[in-house]
């Protein structure tokens, strides 16, 4: 990894989280990284926390970089790509976290045969616990795919999917932290309702969610089997489960993922039409 020179264009939540993850994990040294953003305050904060080089110029950032992270808003990504296409190295690995922006459109704007990987991390990247899905463009080698996966693993878990499933990823894990935040808040409220202090209720709710998720991850067992470990005959948990089923909690969560997926598809359509018009 010592030969990597990574430029990150955009230092919002995702861009800064990736940079901090790479430095924190010691996957890359600060000297191997440069971040570009038009907002001085963001650059100053990132420098204080990670000691990476910063610049307000996208061109200065990508010059000499063999990995370029596109962490700008999708609405301006086409302008950024047009700006850098004559400067970015032909063999550079391009990592885009711009939601809804297809790999084919990035390839077309850059011209030639750029090596593009699209990623959908979630906000938990800020604490190094993101769930990230990646999909590969037309010209990405397996070695480059492995490099992309390793870089994103500095912020959490990474899976590879077909690009057609990226909207589903957005609906499930991209929006997923919000579902969990709501569940934690509801559990905390429930604890307060039955007499616990807010501090203790929230502490217990957070640790319960953390511990339960870790059990699923470490045991490898299906959640239904772990659920049965808690629901003893005639006990408190089975009665609580009956109440949850009556109120349709499972259906509510499934519908939320479906609604978020459809909205992700809607947001991506302008980029798809633009791609189709350019290719015709």
Whether 195 shows a pLDDT value over 90: the answer reads yes
DSSP-assigned letters across all residues of 102-148: -HHHHHHHH-S--EEEEEE--GGGGGT-EEEEEEE-TT--HHHHHHH
Give 195's DSSP letter: T
Is residue 277 very low, low, confident or very high in pLDDT (cuts 50, 70, 90)? low
pLDDT of residue 272: 73
pLDDT digits 0-9 by tens, 237-270: 999 999 999 999 999 999 999 999 999 899 888 8
Q: What pLDDT score was predicted for residue 275?
A: 61
Alpha-carbon torsion angle 182, 185, 189, 190, nearest 10: 70
- Domain of residue 194, CATH code: 1.10.3730.10
Same domain, 157 and 197: no
Domain shared by 47 and 152, yes or no: yes
Is the separation of the CB atoms in 93 and 115 below 8 Å? yes
* pLDDT for position 279: 41
Residues 35 and 130 grouped into a single domain: yes
Domain carrying residue 237: 176-247
Whole-angstrom Cα Rg for the chain: 21
Distance CA 114, CA 93 (A): 8
Q: Is the pLDDT of residue 273 over 70?
A: no
Considering the domain architecture, whether residues 44 and 153 belong to the same structural domain is answered as yes
Does residue 132 lie within any of the structural domains? yes
Count of residues in the chain: 280
Q: Give the pLDDT confidence of 20-53 residue by residue, as tens digits.
A: 999 999 999 999 999 999 999 999 999 999 999 9
pLDDT, mean over the chain:
94
Last residue of a domain, one of 162, 197, 212: 162
123 part of a folded domain: yes
Cβ contacts of 155 within 8 Å, gap of 6 or more: 17, 18, 21, 121, 125, 128, 129, 130, 132
Q: Does 208 reside within a domain?
A: yes
Residues 121/152, Cβ–Cβ less than 8 Å: yes
Looking at 162, 195, 226, which one is the last position of a domain?
A: 162
219, 113: one domain: no
Q: Per residue in 220-239, pLDDT tens? A: 999 999 999 999 999 999 99
Number of structural domains, the chain?
2
In the listed set 132, 162, 192, which residue is the last one of a domain according to the structure?
162
Residues 152, 200, single domain; the answer is no
What pTM, to 2 d.p., does this model score? 0.88
């Amino acid at each position: 990894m010592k030969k990597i020179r990574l430029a990150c264009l955009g230092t919002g939540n995702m861009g800064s989280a990736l940079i901090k993850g790479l430095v924190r994990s010691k996957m890359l040294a600060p000297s191997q990284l440069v971040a570009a953003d038009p907002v001085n305050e963001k650059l100053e904060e990132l420098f204080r926390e990670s000691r990476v080089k910063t610049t307000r110029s996208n061109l200065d950032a990508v010059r000499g970089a063999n990995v370029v992270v596109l962490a700008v808003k999708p609405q301006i990504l086409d302008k950024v790509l047009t700006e850098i296409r004559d400067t970015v190295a032909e063999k550079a690995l391009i990592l885009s976290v711009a939601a809804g922006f297809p790999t084919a459109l990035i390839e077309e704007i850059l011209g030639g045969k750029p090596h593009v990987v699209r990623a959908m991390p979630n906000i938990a990247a800020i604490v190094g616990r993101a769930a990230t899905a990646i999909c590969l463009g037309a010209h990405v080698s397996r070695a480059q795919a492995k490099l992309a996966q390793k870089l994103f693993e500095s912020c959490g878990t990474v899976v590879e999917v077909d690009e057609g499933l990226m909207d589903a990823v957005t609906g499930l894990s991209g929006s997923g932290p919000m579902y969990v935040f709501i569940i934690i808040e509801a559990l905390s409220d429930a604890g307060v309702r039955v007499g616990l202090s807010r501090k203790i209720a929230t502490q217990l709710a957070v640790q319960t969610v953390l511990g339960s998720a870790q059990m699923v991850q470490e045991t490898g067992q299906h959640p239904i089997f772990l659920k049965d470990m808690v629901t003893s005959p005639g006990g408190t948990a089975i009665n609580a489960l009956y109440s949850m089923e009556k109120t349709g909690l499972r259906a509510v969560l499934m519908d939320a993922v479906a609604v978020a997926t459809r909205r992700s598809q809607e947001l991506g359509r302008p980029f798809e039409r633009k791609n189709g018009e350019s290719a015709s």
